[in-house]
Structure formats: structure tokens, C-alpha cells
Structure 1
């Protein structure tokens, strides 16, 4: 007689078989038509603010939302399109739309509450996802009426158009304004309303937002202290009077770069690339190289206005170019 062999079933196979059987039986006896704890989708995102310290200064990044700048290849017209495409692909980013954050900085020195740049305001020139600074200030517990000073890097739309409301009331009714005279004079020049390109619209918006503050305006000087702990650094090229700011307290220093650099993935690898909205692209590239060299040599952390929120990071040398290293957010 032939002895029948019993197939070997190990413990793992047995458990899988039992589980499959139980699952199949369950399908016959239980049909989950209604979820007992069904929850609605909230459709609410994390408020756009982040708080950290610069020495004894309490600092808060306030998001004004995102700008849609169209195609990255259009914004860097002299750069090789295939190289732009490859870099963006490596960063898992689309070439179009190229979206840029707006990271407005608020510092509380204990004596003054200071806002650096005011965002886009209600204008939708660069899409519908901007103009959120007032909402996010409220979420962060900051009353616009408590702002003592507005310090502007320059007078482009996404930096100063949040100062005056649509009804012409002041969004920051008690604020003094600090800006370079060169930038103020250029972007409020009525004669430029007849210029070509984007300049007339930018001038009209700057006039609307800056002129109502004219009687409380102070002009910053290169290398001079604007307020306690805040020093102006002339960084021209993007605009004629573009100014970055060094913010120091105790042993801590941050560099608020403004628009010296727009995109973290493109311009650190290629600081010589020219940006479409630069007033003098060649001077802007020279300024960018000098600032990168200073910040990397001094190991000075930076605040990038257009970088991924909240825009805090370090610059380090990477061969003949540079690299950006984001500072992780702290939740305590």
C-alpha cells in the first residue's frame, strides 16, 4: 500500500489561512453601510505663523501666502531651460507653476513690535493664495494696531502692498515706516506711471501704500542701526535701494535677506542667474554672491522671504557654489 503523505503546514501558513477564512466569513455577515463615527472633512489648514527666538528677541514668521510666478524658465530667462527643468525635477517641484512663499517677520524686542515687509495685500496679480498677513497675524495673537514699526526691504508689490486696505484705511495705524530713500523715490515716482512693462503697476501700488505713511517715514542708511538690534545692509540689484537686515540679540544673529535670493533650489547652485524682476540683474547677481559668501563664512543663519515656510536656514559653500540647509522647526 502507498502511504499517503500529509502536506506540511507551518504556523505562519495556518494563521494566514485562518485569517483569510475569517475575513471571507465576515464579508458575508457584516456589510458596513454606515460609519458610526463618520467625521466631516475640516478643510482647515495650520495657521501660517511660526515663533522662535533670536537671543532675547521673540521672533514670529507670518505667512502672507503663496505667489504664483508662472514658469520658472520665464523667471530666469537667461538660464538654460533644461538645467532649470532638471533642478526642479530633482527637488520634486514643477517648473510651472513656480510657487513662492512670503515669510514676513515680526520681532518683539520688549520695547517695540516690528514687522519686516507687509505682503501682497488684496491684489491678485500673482494668484489668489496671497494676501493672508492680517488673518495670520490674528492667528499668532498679534494686533496690527500694536505694530510700532514696519521695516521694508524694498517697495515691490509683495513687500509693501499690505500696508493700506482697499478702503484706503491704514492696516497698521500706529506704525512708523523704515525704507531706503532710493527705493522710496524710485517706486513712488509719478513719472514712472508712463513707463513700460510691470513698472507702472508696481509704482501705482507703491504710491497707494507708501504715501499715506509719508509723514512717519524714516530712511535707512547702509551699516547703520535702524532700531535697537536691527542694522541695515545695502544689497542693491533687485531694486535700486534694496536693503537686507542683520538682527542681533545676545550671541544670536539672523540675516533677513529679502529678495537677494528668490528660490532655494535654483539660486544657491547658480547665484549668477538673473531674475526677471531684478532692476539691475548683473548687480543683483554680484550682491547675491557677496551676501552668500558673508553668511557662509560667518555661519550666519538667514530668513528667506520666498523660501519654503518658515524660511529659516543656513548657507554653506558647496564647491564653487552654495547650498541651503533648512533649520528644523521646533514645537516647544
Structure 2
């Protein structure tokens, strides 16, 4: 008798000892879950993570490359994940410093019509979840972008080109602003055309209120930019400090909590420079494993909060508990 059969037999015997009750399910299926937002104190700040919804990539081995044949699928399966559907989250951050309300990345939005659903219908939920969390988009003072890809800046405007954050400045690196609004860069992978047209529409709507992000300098008090190029030419992560507390918003430094931590030098198919991105990721993970700051990863399992530890030749992701009101 196998362990599974013994467990099932035990469950069956336990059930047989219970009285038989007749139950009928008359209630209809609800079909829609609760809005996805999570709020916590961070030092003197209040942080709210807002979900833009799940982002399915399809086959993992199509997006994560450079492994031995079968290795990607094996890593997925050994962690009870479906190798045919690499599912990412989209965890945007709203930071209330007491002086300003700052949004880190915007999600996919609906500004580009059918292209806004290039990854399926589960994205584009940031604005509704933000309102459900009690935050009016008009309250946002600054949108800080990690980079100018579709799932990070396409909700700056709506389908008609109107600003979704009418009172906000937009902080982005000059390198990403130039690259992703230059139509001469439409070459190579098929996604480049939509990515550049979408970035152009969304970023140009805020040209009169742009703030240029510079490596090592504060974007606003308490938020320092750290260059992390490779995923895009100007990809940037941000160190958020309040007193002794440090949280790093890592953007797209790593897209998957298993594949790109266990094997940080694997390459990702949406990287502008995959080899530079892998080197940037490996160096940053070494620092994070040593210094142990709280991390907020845009694409890791909801709500994306945790820490990194060294494990073998790579790293392990340790998700922070959600049953707390303060993290530091």
C-alpha cells in the first residue's frame, strides 16, 4: 500500500465516522475575487501594493533561455509550477511619505487597445484596485518608472490619450525615454513595434512634467535610484529608506522567483541586452543576500515582498509574512 493510499484510506475512515448530512448548494457562483491590494507600515511611511493582475507568459522555456534541455521544465515541475504557463504577477507600489504620494510603475492599462491585452485579459487592473484601496489616481504626485515596457508604463494614459494621473510628474531615465520613443528602434522581435508605439503614446503625454532619474541620486526624499541596466537600457531599481529601514523596489531585475534566482545567469527573452541583464541581476542578488534588505519584486508571487538568501550556486526567495502591519 502506498503512502497516498494509506492517507486516502484514513480520510475515508474518518469520514465514515461522521453523521451524514444532506446539503444543497443553492447559491450561485460569484465569479470575481476581491480587489488585490495590501497595505503596511514601513518606517514612517505607509506602503500599499496594488495588483495590475496576473501576466501569463506561456511556456516557460520560451521566455527563459540558456538552460540545458529540459532543465527549465524540471525546475518548474519540482516547485509545483506548470511549465506550460509561466505566470507572473504585477505588483505596483504606492508609497505615502507623509509629504507625497508616489506610484512605482503603472501596469498595462488599456491605452493601446487590443495590444493592451497581448498577454491576455487578466492585466490592466491597477486603476480599479487603486480606487478599491481608497486611493484616487488624481492624488498621485509622482509616477516613478523602473523602465518603459508595456506592463510598467502603459497605464499612464487611457485609450483616448488622457492622463490617468492628472496631477503627477513622471520620473524615468533619459536613456529609456529616448530609446522607447524612437521608432528607429523598431527592429528585431515582433513585440518591439507595439512596445515603442505604446511607450511613445504614454510618455509623450507627460513631456511637460518629466523628471530625469539619475543613478545614485534621490528622485524624491527617501527614494534613491540605482541603475540596473540590461532588461532595458535605463532599467532602474529604487532604494526606499525611512530611518534604519530599507526596502528595494526591484522592478524587473528578476522576473521569476525560482528560475532567475536559482539560475541568475539565465537569459530572459524580453531583455534588451540579455547578457548585461544577467550580470546585473547576479551582482545585485549577491548584495541583497549579504545586506538582507526587504525587497519588493514587481513580478514575484503576490504581494512580491520578501528577502533573498544564498542557496547553492544561486539564491532562494523567502516571502515575507502578510499577517503583520509593519515591515522593516
For normalisation by structure 1, the TM-score amounts to 0.88
CA displacement at 1:161 relative to structure 2: 0.4
Tell me if the contact between 1:193 and 1:204 (Cα under 8 Å) persists in the aligned partners.
no
CA displacement at 1:290 relative to structure 2: 1.0
Task: Find the counterpart in structure 2 of residue 259 from structure 1.
Answer: 252
Q: Distance in 2 between matches of 1:154 and 1:211?
A: 15
CA distances 1:164-205 after superposition (whole Å, capped 9, x unpaired): 101111111111000010010000013234665321211000
Task: Find the counterpart in structure 1 of residue 221 from structure 2.
Answer: 228
CA distances 1:217-266 after superposition (whole Å, capped 9, x unpaired): 01111000110100000000000000000001012110111111000011
Task: Find the counterpart in structure 2 of residue 286 from structure 1.
Answer: 279
> Which residue of the other structure, out of 35, 39, 48, is the alignment partner of 1:60?
48
> Which residue of the other structure, out of 49, 61, 70, is the alignment partner of 1:73?
61
Tell me if the contact between 1:69 and 1:97 (Cα under 8 Å) persists in the aligned partners.
yes
CA displacement at 1:117 relative to structure 2: 0.2
SS in 2 for 1:267: helix
Matches within 5 A, 1:277-316: 277-316=270-309
> Which residue of the other structure, out of 15, 30, 39, is the alignment partner of 1:51?
39
Q: Distance in 2 between matches of 1:92 and 1:172?
A: 39
Matched residue count: 305
Task: Find the counterpart in structure 2 of residue 250 from structure 1.
Answer: 243
| Larger CA deviation: 40-49 vs 315-324 | 40-49
SS in 1 for 2:120: coil
Q: Distance in 2 between matches of 1:193 and 1:264?
A: 30
Task: Find the counterpart in structure 1 of residue 120 from structure 2.
Answer: 127
CA displacement at 1:299 relative to structure 2: 1.0
1:198 aligns with 2:191: yes
> Which residue of the other structure, out of 77, 82, 86, is the alignment partner of 2:70?
82
CA displacement at 1:301 relative to structure 2: 1.4
Tell me if the contact between 1:156 and 1:206 (Cα under 8 Å) persists in the aligned partners.
yes
Q: Distance in 1 between matches of 2:80 and 2:282?
A: 26
Q: Distance in 2 between matches of 1:176 and 1:207?
A: 16
Q: Distance in 2 between matches of 1:120 and 1:225?
A: 26
Task: Find the counterpart in structure 2 of residue 5 from structure 1.
Answer: none
Where does the alignment leave 5 or more consecutive residues of structure 1 unmatched?
Answer: 1-15, 27-31
Tell me if the contact between 2:40 and 2:324 (Cα under 8 Å) persists in the aligned partners.
no
For normalisation by structure 2, the TM-score amounts to 0.89
SS in 1 for 2:177: helix
SS in 1 for 2:259: coil
CA displacement at 1:42 relative to structure 2: 2.1
Q: Distance in 1 between matches of 2:188 and 2:275?
A: 21
Task: Find the counterpart in structure 1 of residue 5 from structure 2.
Answer: none
> Which residue of the other structure, out of 98, 103, 115, is the alignment partner of 1:115?
103
Task: Find the counterpart in structure 2 of residue 8 from structure 1.
Answer: none
Q: CA RMSD in A?
A: 1.9
CA displacement at 1:295 relative to structure 2: 1.1
1:146 aligns with 2:139: yes
Check 1:214–1:195 CA distance in 2 against 1; reply closer, same or farther (3 A cut). farther
Q: Distance in 2 between matches of 1:89 and 1:178?
A: 39
Where does the alignment leave 5 or more consecutive residues of structure 2 unmatched?
Answer: 1-12, 111-115
Tell me if the contact between 2:107 and 2:150 (Cα under 8 Å) persists in the aligned partners.
yes
